[in-house]
């Protein structure tokens, strides 16, 4: 017998949106006996203008809790599951589940309970289809009475329960509090469930099956056919996701990361693609110097000038205190001899602007304070950067050739990334020209 790797395979909503998608999932699971524990999402969109079942559940519960008639939405939800069951020709009757769910909508058992039913019902169907045991997440994923996730208790329960099962389907997204009430993670939280299970059973790999062939090196709306990143470190992933690139729920990396378990992002619709492997560290040399580029618009810079600032002990602390007191998170803080600049999100800052300015004047008595709005930050990320000279020069040459003025430069001491600030209006072009400077475009040379 082959010595299979032990895997947790999580399938997202679009992978389980219809009977056809279920068939693809079935073929993937059957192709590898190591895929013993499967985590499901609720049925997602079948086409662009479709509605996710989780959204229908929220809507339905909202109608129920306002005392309105919710039967129409309820029927719409039910038909999504009935369609999958009949499409697969399964001998499975979920009538009793639907009756109970209907009752509990009427008695208003909570929004989290309502939202979780998508994963619960889809899990039952998938378990039946695969011939795997169904394990209700409410019995193994634990929250305290305030709704905080309980890591150790969950770990204990999960490993004990799954040790006795060769194969199982466990619904994603939810668990239960000590009194049995259902609690969900935040939206997209089935990714977290998969990661928690992978840790609890010491899986060799956490597979996250979705509808893209991995993490892209740049936003495909801005760059034509960006390449798929083959190997990505957790730190690179954090940098890119913080700047808006997303495939995984951002909290999903922590459980597996602490155990050194890699995550493999795979495409249910193209199962032969290798996808992206996310690892703690690797000696795999990246193909290009940069791993990826991501960015966000909508920042403000606040530049504070004061002669002899550099010799004034505690200056920066006082400045930062003002932002903390106003509950504004700081993105970057490049500084000069007599000047320091703070970058913050425009939306969080704009209503507090005048109060912050007044407090800064009081706190550090600056000579001048200047602000610039509508700035974009772009992170150029790559573990390969620290061993290569000329990265910054390549970025700056590309921007200068495109006549894009750089408003800020920040290179982290880890040399994992270079952040640049440009005006919002140059954001798209900046990403494109930087990408092209590093990655070959049909026929043209990149480096
Ligand atoms: N179904 C839930 C959502 O739409 C959770 C998930 O898919 O991960 O947010």
Percent of the chain with pLDDT strictly greater than 90: 85
| Per-residue model confidence (pLDDT) at position 358 | 97
Asked if residue 52 has its Cβ within 6 Å of ligand 1, the reply is: yes
Residue 446 has pLDDT above 60, yes or no: no
The Cα 439–Cα 426 span in angstroms is: 20
Convert the pLDDT of each residue in 132-155 to its tens digit.
999 999 999 999 999 999 999 999
| Residue 286 Cα to ligand 1 middle (Å) | 32
The Cα 258–Cα 237 span in angstroms is: 15
Q: Residue 9 belongs to what H/E stretch? A: strand 7-11
Two tokens at 233? 């470190």
| Residue 82 Cα to ligand 1 middle (Å) | 20
Give the SS3 label for residue 305. strand
Which architecture, in CATH terms, is 292-438? 2-Layer Sandwich (3.30)
Q: Which of 14, 41, 81, 192 to mutate to test the pocket of ligand 1 (most atoms within 8 A of CB)?
A: 41
| Per-residue model confidence (pLDDT) at position 412 | 74
The 10 Å Cβ neighbour count of residue 414 is 11
| Per-residue model confidence (pLDDT) at position 245 | 81
What phi and psi values does residue 416 have, to the nearest 5 degrees? -90, -20
* Shortest-distance atom of ligand 1 to CA 190: 8
Convert the pLDDT of each residue in 223-233 to its tens digit.
999 999 999 99
Asked if residue 233 has its Cβ within 6 Å of ligand 1, the reply is: no
Number of alpha carbons in the 13 Å side-chain half-sphere of residue 240: 26
Cα dist from 33 to 1, 2, 10, 109, whole Å: 11, 9, 15, 39
Q: Which of 119, 121, 183, 195 to mutate to test the pocket of ligand 1 (most atoms within 8 A of CB)?
A: 119
Q: Which of 218, 243, 346 is CA-nearest to residue 296?
A: 243
Asked if residue 43 has its Cβ within 6 Å of ligand 1, the reply is: no
* Shortest-distance atom of ligand 1 to CA 12: 7
| Residue 41 Cα to ligand 1 middle (Å) | 6
Q: Where in the chain is the domain with CATH 3.40.1160.10?
A: 7-279
Residue 1: band (very low, low, confident or very high) from pLDDT cuts 50, 70, 90: very low
| Per-residue model confidence (pLDDT) at position 132 | 98
* Shortest-distance atom of ligand 1 to CA 52: 4
Atom 2 of ligand 1: nearest residue by CA position: 188
Asked if residue 54 has its Cβ within 6 Å of ligand 1, the reply is: yes
Convert the pLDDT of each residue in 367-416 to its tens digit.
999 999 999 999 999 988 888 888 889 999 999 999 999 999 988 767 78
| Per-residue model confidence (pLDDT) at position 414 | 73
| Residue 357 Cα to ligand 1 middle (Å) | 41
Asked if residue 123 has its Cβ within 6 Å of ligand 1, the reply is: no
Task: Point out the least confidently predicted range of 114-118, 186-190, 437-441.
Answer: 437-441
The 10 Å Cβ neighbour count of residue 434 is 26
Q: Where in the chain is the domain with CATH 3.30.2130.10?
A: 292-438
Residue 428 has pLDDT above 70, yes or no: yes
The Cα 152–Cα 148 span in angstroms is: 12
Asked if residue 15 has its Cβ within 6 Å of ligand 1, the reply is: no
Rg (Cα) of the chain, in Å, rounded?
25
Residue 76 has pLDDT above 90, yes or no: yes
Q: Residue 298 belongs to what H/E stretch? A: strand 292-305
| Residue 300 Cα to ligand 1 middle (Å) | 33
CATH number (3.40.1160.10, 3.40.50.1100, 3.30.160.100, 3.30.70.120) of 7-279 reads 3.40.1160.10
User: Long-range contacts: 327-333, Cβ < 8 Å, 24+?
Assistant: 328/352, 328/356, 331/299, 331/377, 332/377, 332/408, 332/410, 332/419, 332/421
Residue 444: band (very low, low, confident or very high) from pLDDT cuts 50, 70, 90: low
| Per-residue model confidence (pLDDT) at position 282 | 85
Residue 443 has pLDDT above 60, yes or no: no
SS3 content of the chain, % helix, strand, coil (to 5): 40, 20, 35
Q: What is the mean pLDDT of the chain?
A: 94
Residue 442: band (very low, low, confident or very high) from pLDDT cuts 50, 70, 90: low
Asked if residue 10 has its Cβ within 6 Å of ligand 1, the reply is: no
Atom 6 of ligand 1: nearest residue by CA position: 188
Residue 264 has pLDDT above 70, yes or no: yes
Asked if residue 276 has its Cβ within 6 Å of ligand 1, the reply is: no
């Amino acid at each position: 017998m082959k010595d299979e790797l032990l895997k947790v395979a999580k399938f997202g909503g679009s992978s389980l949106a219809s009977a056809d998608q279920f068939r693809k999932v079935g073929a993937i699971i059957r192709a590898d006996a190591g895929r013993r524990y499967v985590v499901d999402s609720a049925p997602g969109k079948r086409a662009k203008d479709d509605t996710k079942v989780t959204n229908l559940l929220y809507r339905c519960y909202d109608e129920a809790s306002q005392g309105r008639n919710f039967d129409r939405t309820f029927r719409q939800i039910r038909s999504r599951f009935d369609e999958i069951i009949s499409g697969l020709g399964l001998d499975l009757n979920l009538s009793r589940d639907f009756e109970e769910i209907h009752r509990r909508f009427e008695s208003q058992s909570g929004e989290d309970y309502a939202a979780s039913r998508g994963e619960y019902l889809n899990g039952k169907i998938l378990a039946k289809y695969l011939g795997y045991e169904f394990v209700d997440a409410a019995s193994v994923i634990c929250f305290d009475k305030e709704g905080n996730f309980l890591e150790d208790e969950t770990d204990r329960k999960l490993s004990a329960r799954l040790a006795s099962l060769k194969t199982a389907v466990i619904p994603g997204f939810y668990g239960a509090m000590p009194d049995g009430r259902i609690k969900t993670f935040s939206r997209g939280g089935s990714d977290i469930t998969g990661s928690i299970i992978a840790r609890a059973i010491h899986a060799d790999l956490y597979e996250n099956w979705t509808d893209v062939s991995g993490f892209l090196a740049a936003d495909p709306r801005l760059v034509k056919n960006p390449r798929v990143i083959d190997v990505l470190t957790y730190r690179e992933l954090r940098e890119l996701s913080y700047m808006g690139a997303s495939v995984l729920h951002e909290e999903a990396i922590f459980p597996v990361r602490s155990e050194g378990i890699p995550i493999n992002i795979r495409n249910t619709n193209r199962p032969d693609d290798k996808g992206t492997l996310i690892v703690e560290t690797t000696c795999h040399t990246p193909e290009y110097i940069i791993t990826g580029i991501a960015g966000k618009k909508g920042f403000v810079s606040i530049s504070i000038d004061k002669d002899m600032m550099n010799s004034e002990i505690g200056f920066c602390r006082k400045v930062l205190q003002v932002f903390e007191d106003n509950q504004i998170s700081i993105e970057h803080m490049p500084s000069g001899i007599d000047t320091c600049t703070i970058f913050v999100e425009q939306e969080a800052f704009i209503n507090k602007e005048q109060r912050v300015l007044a407090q800064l004047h009081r706190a550090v008595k600056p000579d001048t304070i200047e602000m610039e709005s509508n700035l974009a930050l772009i992170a150029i990320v790559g573990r390969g950067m620290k061993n290569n000279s000329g990265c910054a020069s390549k970025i700056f040459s590309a921007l200068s050739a495109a006549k894009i003025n750089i408003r800020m430069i920040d290179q982290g001491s880890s040399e994992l990334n270079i952040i640049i600030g440009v005006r919002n209006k140059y954001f798209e072009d900046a990403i494109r020209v930087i990408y092209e400077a590093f990655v070959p475009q049909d026929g043209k040379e990149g480096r």
